[in-house]
Amino acid sequence: MVMIAKEKSLSAWAFLIGVILAVIIGISTILIPLSVLTTYSSFIYLILVILGIVIGISINAAGKDVQTFLITGAIIVIVSRFGMDSVIGSLIGIGVGDLVSSIFASLLALFVPATVIVALKSVFGLAKV
């Protein structure tokens, strides 16, 4: 029987919930009227940022795992940011540009704090005296 640490379980659940929530938020922007979105958008993105902070704090990986998370996190952040702009221009005729751009924005709100916190923890771990 494999035993999993509570910290690892917390970060895994926060990560899974955050990604699912980011996709749901991205999809819901097409379904929910604009007036409702503008009213609650700051609260919705605050939840994603808090989940990103929880993920970043609760990830307690060492060595190669941190490196892997930082590389993939940085790739997701970069691709999401550049994808937001390019998707709107290229998929505008199809009608899904806003949907994909909103999903990318939600993923950014989740991954930027998580990646920054893990990077800072890694740097402070290297600099410990």
Q: Which of 34, 45, 17 is nearest to 98 (CA)?
A: 34
Q: Name the residue with higher pLDDT: 91 or 53.
A: 53
In the numeric block, the tokens 């999903």 are attached to 103
pLDDT, one tens digit per residue, over 32-84 is 766 676 677 788 888 889 988 888 888 776 667 788 888 888 998 898 888 87
Q: What is the pTM of this model?
A: 0.78
Query: Which pLDDT band, with edges at 50, 70 and 90, does 1 fall under?
Result: very low
| CA geometry: angle 89, 94, 96, nearest 5 deg | 75
List the domain boundaries for the chain.
6-126
